[in-house]
């Protein structure tokens, strides 16, 4: 099997788990074929879920709910989390559930922003913009999975000191199978960091800018995974959010060249989290498309037909409180675990 290595002339310590990155060890190992979907995910219980003012500045999907107490919001988020866990397990998805050990982070339920797992025996830790979200990176989780998968930790968190951010598979949507990474640039998604990840892991970077109307003006959309999702055969994407015609054309051409059928969604459907979905598979190989019930209700008949024609079973549960208060949906709650292939 072909392996491509890049030397790293440094020695750094991951302060969250004590992992040592040794000089000149291979950082990138390009696989001949990556898997696009997995049957295993990491989910983190929303122990201290609440409105996070530190992230609301550029996450325009967040909303304060003054008519409910903080305890009620936390209880509802916990019930929604449990409902999604049950639905996934009933469909044969392996859910690795863990507690928020710190118990002070309002957004711990969204682990895909700080960690990702790769078949090259790599676990990646990401730099996040909001300081109170950095506490979500749990040393015991990193240690457990690096040992279980015999994986090396690639730690980009040091770039937080330079104001350079890349919030995991929130900032990036990965076409693992074809080696293409998509990123909607924003304050949380640095072009420099995105390109560094792509160089280190052997992805072709596709950058674009996406906007949404906010109080009569167009504002950048904070994360890529709310405007698009890529599965084995389908790509769900909000093309109308991309104003630059050249960026839009490049995105469409790349998706078509990798044999993705495009399911085009509207800005209103983005607000309903139709873009914030994830394709998984059961242990028996059944293909699933996971989303919130709100997203499911927003799909048109034609879009449902496109999805069903690809033999995808939609799995949806109510996530109203998590989506309304937290500004993230089903995809944000799922960190895919890809077991090593060599």
- What mean pLDDT value characterizes the chain? 90
CA angle, 113 then 78 then 132, to 5°: 40
pLDDT on residue 217: 87
> Beta strand pairing status for 115-118 and 211-214?
unpaired
Residue whose pair of structure tokens reads 């350079």 in the numeric block? 164
Report whether 78 contacts 49 (CB < 8 A).
Answer: yes
pLDDT tens digit string along 138-177? 999 999 999 999 999 999 999 999 999 999 999 999 999 9
Mean pLDDT value of segment 170-185: 98
Cα–Cα distance between 86 and 67 in angstroms, integer? 28
pLDDT for residue 322 is more than 50: yes
Cα–Cα distance between 157 and 155 in angstroms, integer? 6
pLDDT tens digit string along 221-239? 999 999 999 999 999 999 9
Cα–Cα distance between 122 and 76 in angstroms, integer? 35
Cα–Cα distance between 232 and 34 in angstroms, integer? 11
Mean pLDDT value of segment 40-51: 94
3 state SS of 242: coil
| Both structure tokens of 257 | 């060249």
Segment of 7-11, 192-196, 214-218 carrying the highest mean pLDDT: 192-196
pLDDT on residue 32: 57
All residues at 6 or more sequence positions from 305 whose CB lies less than 8 Å from its CB, including other chains: none
pLDDT tens digit string along 2-20? 333 333 333 334 444 444 3
Element (DSSP H or E) covering residue 97? strand 94-98
Say which residue, 192 or 20, is predicted with more confidence. 192
CA angle, 239 then 243 then 248, to 5°: 50
């Amino acid at each position: 099997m072909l392996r491509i290595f890049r030397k790293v002339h440094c020695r750094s310590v991951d302060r969250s788990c004590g992992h040592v990155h040794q000089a000149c060890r291979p950082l990138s190992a390009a696989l001949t074929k990556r898997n696009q979907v997995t049957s295993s995910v990491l989910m983190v219980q929303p122990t201290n879920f609440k409105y996070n003012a530190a992230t609301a500045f550029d996450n325009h999907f967040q909303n304060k709910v003054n008519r409910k107490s903080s305890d009620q919001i936390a209880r509802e988020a916990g019930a929604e989390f449990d409902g999604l866990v049950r639905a996934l397990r009933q469909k044969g998805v392996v859910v690795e559930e863990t507690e928020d050990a710190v118990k002070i982070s309002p957004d711990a339920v969204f682990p895909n922003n700080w960690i990702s797992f790769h078949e090259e025996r790599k676990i990646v830790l990401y730099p996040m913009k909001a300081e109170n979200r950095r506490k979500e990176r749990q040393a015991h989780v990193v240690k457990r999975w690096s040992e279980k998968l015999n994986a090396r930790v690639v730690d980009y968190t040091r770039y937080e000191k330079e104001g350079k951010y890349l919030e995991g598979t929130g900032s990036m949507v990965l076409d693992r199978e074809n080696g293409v990474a998509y990123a909607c640039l924003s304050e949380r998604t640095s072009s420099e960091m995105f390109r560094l990840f792509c160089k280190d892991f052997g992805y072709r970077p596709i950058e674009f800018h996406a906007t949404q109307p906010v109080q009569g003006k167009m504002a950048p959309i904070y994360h890529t995974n709310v405007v698009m999702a890529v599965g084995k055969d389908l790509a769900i994407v909000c093309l109308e959010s991309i104003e630059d015609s050249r960026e839009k054309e490049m995105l469409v051409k790349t998706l078509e060249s990798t044999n993705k059928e495009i399911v085009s969604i509207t800005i209103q459907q983005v607000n309903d989290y139709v873009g914030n979905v994830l394709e998984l598979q059961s242990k028996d190989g059944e293909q699933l498309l996971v989303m919130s019930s709100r997203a499911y209700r927003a799909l048109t008949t034609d879009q449902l037909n496109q999805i069903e024609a690809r033999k995808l079973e939609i799995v949806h549960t109510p996530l109203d409180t998590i989506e309304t208060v937290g500004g993230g949906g089903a995809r944000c709650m799922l960190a895919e675990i890809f077991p090593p292939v060599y």
